[in-house]
Amino acid sequence: MIPWFGGYFIVIVFFYLLKALKVIDNSYLVIASVKNAAGIMSNPEFDDYAKEKALQAESIQLFKYFFLILLGSLLALGLPLGLIWGFSQTSLMSYDSVIMTTLTWQFILAATFLGLVMFWFNTLNR
């Protein structure tokens, strides 16, 4: 039972940190930036030089979002895994058994359902 608790701890803290570190919000900003870049490319009022300057600004924004999403995702996954590893060092739970539990089909199915519920609640709060 403890490995299941550890697995759910990883999933819940991961989703919470994704939201707290604004990874989800930044992914929406990526989509908006790409749509803006497509609009710039198809705008007949801009000459090639103006399009190039505008698209360079968009590419810098996309690069910034890439690093924010990458760093946020690494922290969102690394912090709960680090805590589970810390608990295993104090013999509160086994890191290996938690990881093995997260790889079972039962846990993957339950975590998928939990993730969908959390995503649904997140979209209701937008």
pLDDT at 67 over 90: yes
Q: Is the pLDDT of residue 114 over 80?
A: yes
- Cβ-based neighbour number of residue 95 at 10 Å: 16
Task: Kindly state the DSSP code that residue 21 receives in the 8-state scheme.
Answer: T
Mean of pLDDT over the chain: 92
User: pLDDT category, 126, cuts 50, 70, 90?
Assistant: low
Determine the average pLDDT of the residues in 3-29.
93
**Section 86-93 average pLDDT:** 92
- Spatial CB neighbours of 1, under 8 Å, sequence gap ≥ 6: none
- Rounded to whole angstroms, how far apart are CA atoms 56 and 50? 10
pLDDT of residue 36 exceeding 70? yes
Q: How confident is the model at residue 115 (pLDDT cuts 50, 70, 90)?
A: confident
